[in-house]
């Protein structure tokens, strides 16, 4: 609890959720435990004014000044304001403001499949919890599911149409179940009725929900929800076992109320879907497990890299570092303290580009992954870096740069791609300009190791190797050995380029 003697220093705001009601001249403040404290008359009016003022964060001293301004005179007993703030704090009507969170980039893409189980009525709450955890959600529903929840409610939450048919009317050239199967990073069927479970076990694509789950290469979590007698049926148990054998993830049921029973006779029975928070935990564990497996191989193409950045937290990426590598900054510093035209290839989450832009250079930061760039913008909203989606092996960039930086991009390219990379550098770097490349020096799957001889041969005759040094490639958990190469473009630098 805060020191009551220092209430003027408290920094407070109205809580997101308050347990308060008013009636007549009374205001009742309930604690989370349900204990009530009633305020009446002037005290209720004062509390209402304070709560209104604290919709934005303010200190206790600012609250006092605000109340005195409303009253038109000094408060004779200012400690009354401190007592009121203490009461509202104990009732959790006020809170200490948390540090502002950075803008959130899109997270994993999830297709939520809804079926004709009664628990579908809870789908809006499940969607909101998934979105709060960073998932981008689209909904697919069987015709039976839409008896328990309106499509309009789902669309209002997801800002995307609900897919409920294999061939929607008026869209003859679109195959929505294939589109969503390819779009998804994960598929969640919750609740899963006995009918849908049977379709999945038999490979029956007749419903759009089953078709998406069967066609996708993303992990699928099936959450059964049905009457206990149905759940215990031998056929249902055989079907669930078949789903597990086929590589789908099947959640264990919870004890839940059977809505077929009269309200007064309902008791928890095994067979229902777990609560939304438990379902989300299971799903997150599955996504993390799949993401860990993906990290063992180099993604191919923009779609592969997008999926990697959507499904991994920054601290899970072995090459990600929130600070720029000192040796890269030092190599750049030797070319000029500020005012250079710089291109960073494969910027990822943008730590290096942000640092360079902060030193007064003009920075264009590119990456093949639009998802990575979206996160880079969100992590550094005030950065002056220019973020562009571009594949350096098929670049659309024009113009000339003083310096190009490549931190751990070149070594992921195959031979033909590396040659196109080198051709792009020859075109994009002005005479006398510099290419700074850092590559892994340790063997790793999908990584090409470069020596001074092989790097010089790749970029000849347009560049000469000027400097090579031992380095590291710092990440969140380790800093494997690397090599730093500095190559100079032939010719004298054109002053106009700088």
* pLDDT tens per residue across span 233-269: 999 999 999 999 999 999 999 887 667 777 877 777 7
**Are the C-beta atoms of residues 450 and 439 closer than 8 Å to each other?**
yes
Given CA atoms 189, 195, 198, 203 in this order, what sign does their dihedral have?
A: negative
Distance CA 497, CA 493 (A): 8
Phi, psi of 478 (to 5 degrees): -150, 165
The two structure tokens encoding residue 68: 């005195």
| pLDDT (average), residues 286-296 | 80
The domains found in the chain, sorted by start residue, are 4-95 (3.90.930), 109-294 (3.40.50.1950), 317-489 (3.40.50.150)
Please report which confidence band the pLDDT of residue 2 belongs to, taking 50, 70 and 90 as the band edges. Answer: confident
The two structure tokens encoding residue 130: 């998934």
Q: Of 176, 185, 240, nearest to 205 (Cα)?
A: 176
Which pLDDT score, from 0 to 100, does residue 3 have?
81
What is the enclosing helix (H) or strand (E) of 332? Answer: helix 326-333
Please report which confidence band the pLDDT of residue 47 belongs to, taking 50, 70 and 90 as the band edges. Answer: very high
DSSP 8-class letter at 345 = E
Place of tokens 């609250």: 63
Phi, psi of 291 (to 5 degrees): -65, -40
**Torsion on CA atoms 239, 245, 247, 248, rounded to nearest 10:** 20
* pLDDT tens per residue across span 71-90: 999 999 999 999 999 999 99
- In angstroms, the first-to-last Cα distance of the chain is 58
pTM over 0.85: no
102 has a pLDDT exceeding 70: no
Distance CA 420, CA 429 (A): 14
């Amino acid at each position: 609890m805060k020191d009551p003697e220092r209430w003027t220093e408290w920094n407070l705001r109205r809580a997101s959720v308050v347990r308060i009601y008013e009636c007549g001249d009374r205001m009742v403040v309930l604690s989370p435990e349900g204990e009530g404290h009633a305020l009446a008359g002037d005290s209720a009016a004062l509390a209402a004014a304070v709560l209104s003022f604290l919709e934005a964060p303010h200190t206790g001293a600012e609250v006092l000044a605000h109340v005195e301004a409303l009253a038109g005179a000094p408060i004779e007993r200012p400690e009354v304001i401190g007592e009121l703030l203490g009461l509202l704090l104990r009732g959790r009507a006020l809170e200490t403001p948390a540090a502002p969170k950075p803008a959130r980039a899109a997270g994993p893409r999830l297709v939520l499949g809804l079926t004709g189980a009664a628990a579908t009525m809870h789908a809006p709450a499940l969607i909101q919890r998934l979105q709060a955890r960073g998932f981008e959600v689209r909904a697919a529903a069987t015709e039976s599911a839409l008896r328990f929840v309106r499509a309009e409610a789902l669309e209002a939450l997801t800002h995307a149409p609900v897919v409920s048919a294999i061939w929607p009317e008026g869209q003859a050239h679109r195959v929505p179940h294939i589109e969503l199967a390819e779009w998804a990073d994960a598929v969640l069927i919750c609740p899963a009725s006995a009918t849908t479970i049977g379709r999945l076990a038999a490979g029956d694509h007749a419903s759009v929900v089953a078709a998406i789950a069967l066609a996708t290469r993303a992990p699928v979590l099936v959450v059964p929800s049905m009457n206990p007698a149905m759940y215990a049926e031998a056929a249902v148990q055989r079907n669930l076992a078949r789903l597990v054998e086929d590589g789908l993830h099947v959640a264990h049921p919870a004890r839940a109320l059977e809505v077929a029973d009269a309200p007064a006779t309902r008791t928890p029975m095994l067979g229902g879907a777990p609560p939304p928070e438990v379902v989300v935990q299971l799903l997150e564990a599955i996504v993390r497990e799949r993401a860990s497996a993906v990290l063992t191989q180099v993604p191919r193409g923009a779609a592969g890299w997008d999926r990697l950045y959507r499904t991994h937290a920054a601290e899970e990426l072995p090459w990600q570092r929130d600070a720029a590598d000192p040796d890269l900054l030092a190599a750049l510093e030797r070319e000029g303290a500020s005012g250079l035209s710089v291109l960073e290839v494969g910027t990822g989450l943008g730590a290096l580009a942000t640092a360079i832009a902060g030193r007064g250079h003009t920075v264009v930061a590119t990456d093949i992954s639009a998802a990575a760039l979206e996160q880079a913008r969100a992590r550094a909203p005030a950065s002056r870096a220019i973020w562009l989606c571009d594949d350096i092996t098929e670049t659309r960039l024009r113009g000339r740069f003083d310096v190009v930086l490549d931190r751990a991009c070149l070594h992921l390219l195959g031979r033909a791609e590396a040659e196109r990379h080198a051709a792009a550098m020859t075109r994009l770097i002005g005479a006398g300009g510099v290419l700074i490349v850092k590559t892994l020096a340790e063997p790793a799957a999908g990584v090409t190791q470069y020596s001074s001889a092989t790097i010089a041969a790749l970029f000849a005759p347009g560049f000469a190797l000027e400097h090579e040094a031992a380095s590291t490639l710092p990440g969140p958990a380790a800093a494997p050995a690397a090599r730093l190469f500095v190559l100079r473009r032939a010719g004298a630098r054109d002053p106009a380029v700088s």
